[in-house]
Structure 1
Amino acid sequence: MNWNQAQKEFQNYLRIERGLAENTVNNYGLDLLKLIHFLKDYQIEASPLSINSKQLYEFVHELSKAVNARSQARIISGIKSFFEYLLIEDFRTDNPAELIETPKIGRKLPDTLSTQEIDQLVAAIDLSHPQGERNRAIIETLYACGLRVSELITMKLSDLYFDEGFISVTGKGNKQRLVPISDHTVKYINIYRNEIRVHQDIAKSASDVLFLNRRGKPLTRAMIFTIVKNLAKEANINKKISPHTFRHSFATHLLENGADLRAIQQMLGHESITTTEIYMHLDTSHLKETVLKYHPRA
């Protein structure tokens, strides 16, 4: 088994057996590619079946010089998953990455926007522009529903259950969940859908896709990032924000206003409650207010 073959089979395993999203599969492939390039650059003769712990430690040592601790941890995790796959499929009888330690990293708190800043972003949208109504609907949907960018660009017209007050969202691993949607957001989606989208020449393959580019095809992740970046500039918001910032803001604002953590977990599509708990650490000021307001000894 050579490295190219191993990489392809590993990624197929991730898609088929583990049902991971394509972006996640690609990232695992890139992690493995870093190891392959290291072996090539240092002229180390080692196949996926013969590489040993010493060679992997050398790779990690070089990696530590090039990337930060968070990136190291992610790449090492990907490499460990690859050798676990080789074990599961009986290609190897040992895991040479088993004892490699990942660097200790603190929990990174995500950036959020205030409600005022979100209003500034929406107000900065040029509605006279052909894509203005679409962009407003995109921003409102990202924030109101806490969507990942991949969930937004793959959303279909058939996923909209406005009469019931929900949308169906396809998340990581093709897992579906229902997310409530407000009348406020429904209004802007319907304006785009009924006044803009209906007049487009739509590609046959995109007939059921909600948000389209000017050529009638699905939007890309990169395009959503560009829309958000340009709006932040127009609104004079000096924060490093991305589409994911709206998801963080969605969760944080719900939590600050008393929403149940389990309900937020369900709406975000987190498998583990510990992932959702990161939002508990974003702003502790409301915790103090809660104690002062409700505790009998306050």
Structure 2
Amino acid sequence: MATGTWKDYQLYLLLLLPISYFILFKYVPMYGAAIAFQDYSIFKGVTGSAWVGFENFKQLFGMSQFYQVVRNTLLLNLLDLLFSFPAPILLAILLHELRVVWFKKAAQTILYLPHFISWIIIGGLVYQMFSTNGGLINNLIGALGLDPIPFLTEKNNWLLVYLSTGIWQSAGWGTIIYLAALTGINKDLYEAAEVDGAGRLKKIWHITLPGIRPTIVVMLIMQLGHIMTIGFERPFVMSNPLVMDYAEVISTFVYKVGLQSAQFSLATAMGLFQALVGLFFVVMANMIAKRSGEQGLW
């Protein structure tokens, strides 16, 4: 056993970096979760601050803004799940069906690019495109003699811009996993289906989609685990005071309460609540997947 371990020592050394990453950035910060149960003071630290039990959670659940940010977070994540989750699947299937190799590679490269653009830059582009006064789209609408559309100041329009921008930014990068899954499908199945007279759509429905279904299920479970987690940059950059009924989410709330108002215990309580709800969704989604005959995460 020892000989076998020493023989593969290079592989174990490669594991050190990811293991160190998870220990330092995932497990060590769990120590700070104790702040949610304290009247935390930055001068006394975690060990010196007074314990208050669940008082922070009582205060949090008693805030009317708490229910608004939870609602908004769920709403935006559910809409992302409904529209953004299928986008890379459809895009991967379309790319897989392309027969011109150079065009396929060029399309993949172009579709990956938005993933590497900062949300700060994307936010600037959005305002340049959709601003009511001076935005490119509204300038074109005005040139046609029509009234400008308040894309960024009317709540429903803002929601549409928010979702479409998210799809544009993430769909191309999300195709990588599904394209990898598509390469694992036996090519003989397509040839047999073609001999039987199946068209392209029938081959996609009966071969391609069932072939990547386990990958779709795993990705769906992981996405459900983030149903209460939302990135800070996207809603923060794209929000404005006129759409805060939709744009104020947990991440921006924690930023304002924890950093701007220095209520560290309250912000930590919100983060812990968020993590527990995410864990619940992952466990339930995995349980449903296993009972449905799928592989699941564990």
Range of TM-score over shorter length: under 0.3
TM-score under structure 1 length normalisation: 0.24
Greater C-alpha Rg: 2
Question: Which has more helix, going by share of residues?
Answer: 2
Q: Choose between structure 1 and 2 for higher RCO, CA contacts under 8 A separated by at least 6 residues.
A: 2
